[in-house]
Amino acid sequence: MTDAHQSARHPVVETAGGAIRGTSAGGDGAVFAGIPFAAPPVGTRRLRPPEPAAAWAGVLDAATFPAGPAQRPGIAPDVEAMGPEAVAVAEALGAARGPFSEDCLYLNVWTPELGVRLPVLVWIYGGGFETGTASPPSFDGAALSRLTGAVVVAANYRVGALGWLYPAGPDADGWAESANLGLQDQVAALRWVRENAACFGGDPGNVTVAGASAGAFSIGALLAMPTAKGLFHKAILQSGSVTRVQSPETAEALTKAFLAAAGVRDFGSLLDAPVEAILQAQSAVTDADIGRRNLPGGRIWGVVHDGTILPERPLDAVRDGAAADVPLLIGANRDEIRIWADFGGPAYRPADEDALLAEMAVAGIADPPALLAAYRHRLRCAASAAVGSNPAGVDELRDLRTMFLSDAVYRIPSARLARAQAAAGGRANTYLLTAEPFGPGTGAFHGAEALYLAERLAALGIDTPENRAIRAELVGAWRRFVHAKDLGWPAHGPAEPQAARTRQIGGTVLDIDEPPLDVAAHWGIR
């Protein structure tokens, strides 16, 4: 094999840390896998902020995708046995395949062409802050790069207790800088992108950070972090916003429960704990129910308003103009919680109507009976339009809770973020995905957008003209946004942010009110 042929198949680029050898990905494209952007967070670095990666001599072989961060395997054998549709749903919800390792602070780069200047899209994965990985097959960076025409970078960040444990206990003062380690990992990766994007054909002056679910909630926090300022220029938040943030009091209670479950008395003792003991303890102390997890006071891993790493609550920071210079594209799915209702079985259903009303009160609803009546009217109208009457076998309380939680956790916070951004003089475009890739049973479920953004329609047997049209509309919006082009529908306006419309993607493309007018006032949005 000639040197020229070898070079074409394995291009080499020079980065700030040293030379890296990648792999050709067809045409002029290439992929570079497993690039260290921070030192391994192991040993004495466990539960410490990320430190710079050491430079290397010679050429680093970037041909192998890195292990995901330490976590429990997310795709169980029984899910695998259910077929590709079930696996696709699990992956859309953030379930990741192994291998996993504490030594995880690596990133992957997919580039359409070297030696040019293309937009950069930095992907932050979801997974409830407990699972996820930047590597295939859980994340198809090659497809996203082809569809958006951008250099795509995906970085691992620590998850679960190792990434989100809040310093508390007798030695908390010595660990004050260890809050929100997952966010700090993301900032370290963004710094690497600023320093090295040009080596891979990317424009460090045109960086879009994008993510879904926990990835989008992370971006909501990054908008408010002083250390992240200037590291990205646009942001796409899919099924996540700025309100999934724990108070220090809730986070401290979770930490103390975790330390007890792990059988240790303080943070320092965790340095010697087996990683499996940490994973077991972190699962034992969180809420399992999707509502309890995500409503105020719920025990769950994730972003904490610690006052130091994250000095201001993200929604307040956006209202104050912290992200006014960062255009936002904010998306939600119509039936976000539907899939968890299916997974939850009988335990998901409210015990009675009073239980559902109490849950609405926890979410801050001033008049829960009025909101419940609005959802019930909408549900019965939809059922009547579909079959002429309310069909037998419909579990109304279950469906009412699903509508409420879809709004409480995803749709309403997204609308509030858009209005806050517009009121501060920034730009925010919003869309609502109503596509039903697997039909009305699962609806436009949480994670459904991933099937379109990762070119999975053919593999799942749903490559229909309708789904291809939905893919073209959704991908087209992302591509235009990444390339700083007009999206084709108006942004929220600073004078009257509530007057802006949201683009519906799925079936008929049109502009709609979001949230719908029948519930907007009950949520305090007019």
Query: Which residues are identified as catalytic?
Result: 213, 336, 446
Please spell the DSSP secondary structure of 331-387, one letter per residue.
EEETTTTHHHHHHHGGGGS-SSHHHHHHHHHHTT-S-HHHHHHHHHHHHHHHHHHHH
Beta bridge partners of 333: 433
186-195 burial by CB neighbour count: b if 16+ within 10 A, else e?
A: bbbbbbbbee
**Amino acid letter, 12:** V
Spatial contact of 215 and 155, defined as CB atoms under 8 Å apart? no
Rounded to an integer, what distance in angstroms lies between the CA atom of residue 516 and that of residue 505? Answer: 15
Q: Which residue has the tokens 């939600």?
A: 332
Nearest Cα to 461, choosing from 432, 439, 435? Answer: 439
**Orientation angle between helical segments 353-362 and 396-406, nearest 10 degrees:** 10
Beta bridge partners of 60: 20
- In the chain, what is the greatest distance between 2 CA atoms, to the nearest angstrom? 75
Rounded to an integer, what distance in angstroms lies between the CA atom of residue 209 and that of residue 215? Answer: 10
Residue 53 in 3-state DSSP?
coil
3 state SS for 351-363: CCHHHHHHHHHHC
Positive/negative CA dihedral, 290, 291, 294, 298:
negative
